[in-house]
Amino acid sequence: MRVIGGIYGGRVLKSPADNRTRPTSDRLRETLFNILAPRIDEETRFLDLCAGTGAMGIEALSRGAAHATFVDRSRRSCALIEQNLDNLGIPEEQTEVLDLSAETFCGREHPLGWNIAFYDPPYSTDYALVLYEFSKPGGTLLLDGGILLAEHHAKNPLPDSYGELRRWRILKQGETRVSFYERD
């Protein structure tokens, strides 16, 4: 696994030795960041939920995002993310790594919010609780104009709308889908 583009492009990321983590493929990351490129600048805050190796948040930082928050309920994954950040020399002030479940994290108040959130849980996960937290009126997860991307399996379709969230795009790659949501 490697960083696809930006200032860390081509650099190798450490991956877990086991098969418990299903990293987003290089090809899908490249496609996603080609779509997201106009939304990423020196003020962008990126949230990587169920972060695994941290590849999505690291890719965002590599392409110019100001800050990335990495959330994973596995201590091993959090340690791996920290190792990848250290190996790349990414400044600590640009990152935050939290050992929490996505549901616990999303249920908390967040004073700053994020421009882009990427949610990639195990495909067997019930996405409803996290979608609910992002869809709450007056919620603090997404900034104005912010988007949520949810990676899921084709056999686990997500709704076109959920509360104040509306899907505006579905990216398909093999059996993988990424649903793009924004607030109404």
- Is the residue at 12 inside a domain? no
CATH code of 141's domain = 3.40.50.150
- Is the residue at 139 inside a domain? yes
- Is the residue at 71 inside a domain? yes
Mean pLDDT for 144-164 is 95
- Is the residue at 18 inside a domain? no
Domain of residue 62 covers 26-183
Which pLDDT value is given to residue 20?
A: 65
Residue 106, token pair as written in the block: 């999303």
- Is the residue at 13 inside a domain? no
- Is the residue at 10 inside a domain? no
- Is the residue at 163 inside a domain? yes
Contact 176, 153 (CB under 8 A): yes
Which pLDDT value is given to residue 22?
A: 67
User: Is the model's pLDDT at 11 over the cut of 80?
Assistant: yes
- Alpha helices by DSSP H, the chain: 26-36, 55-62, 75-88, 102-106, 128-135
Domain count, the chain: 1
Which pLDDT value is given to residue 16?
A: 79
Which pLDDT value is given to residue 102?
A: 97
Residue 93, token pair as written in the block: 């002030």
User: Is the model's pLDDT at 87 over the cut of 80?
Assistant: yes
- Is the residue at 19 inside a domain? no
User: Is the model's pLDDT at 127 over the cut of 90?
Assistant: yes
CA distances (Å), origin 74, targets 102, 115, 174: 11, 25, 27
Give tens-digit pLDDT for 23-80. 778 889 999 999 999 999 999 999 999 999 999 999 999 999 999 999 999 999 999 9
Mean pLDDT for 145-174 is 95
Query: Residues of 98-113 as b/e, b for ≥16 C-beta within 10 angstroms?
Result: bbebbbebbeeeeeee
At 138, the pLDDT band (50, 70, 90 cuts) reads confident
Which pLDDT value is given to residue 21?
A: 65
Average pLDDT, the chain: 94
Mean pLDDT for 110-133 is 94
Beta strands 114-119 and 142-153, pairing class = parallel
Q: To 10 degrees, what angle do helices 55-62 and 75-88 make?
A: 20
Highest average pLDDT, of 19-23, 102-106, 180-184, comes from 102-106
